[in-house]
Amino acid sequence: MTSTVLTTVDREGWWWACPATSVASLSVSAGQRLLAISIAPDAAGRDTFATADALAIHVLGPEQEALADHFARHPTDFDTAQSAHGLRVECGFEAVPLLADVASRLECRRVNVLTVDEKVVLLAKVVRSHPAPLLRQAS
């Protein structure tokens, strides 16, 4: 199973992370990708993601599953994620924290928020994508 972790920064500058329950592509037109990202009803920080201007979507590798579990329990604890899991964090679009060395990463601007069956669904436009280093080298 592949896990997906979302990250964002709140208005006070705190970094937040949480697992996504699903990510789906809604459209690809004129070079623009629109995604629907679902967050569980009980996810800590879901209101932060619902009001954030920008977010990043990180597809984790099989050896990184523990990161999704960590952020599900401790959504603002990037220090332990860095020390215990060897995570490197970079600063991205709109100061959103970016998890380095993941399988794939999409930086997005939130365009709308829906509530469906108590889940928060973020609609976001991709502004930058970063495939895994091996994928970049493939031709």
Model pTM score: 0.89
Q: DSSP string spanning the chain?
A: ---EEEEEE-TTS-EEEEE-SEEEEEEEETTEEEEEEEE-TT-TTHHHHHH-SEEEEEEPPGGGHHHHHHHHH-TT-HHHHHHHH---EEE-GGG-EEESS-SEEEEEEEEEEEEETTEEEEEEEEEEEEE-HHHHH--
Residue 94 has a pLDDT of: 95
Chunk the chain into consecutive blocks of 10 residues (it has 139) and report each block's average pLDDT, rounded to whole numbers: 90 96 85 90 92 96 91 95 90 95 94 89 94 44
Residue 135 has a pLDDT of: 37
Residue 131 has a pLDDT of: 78
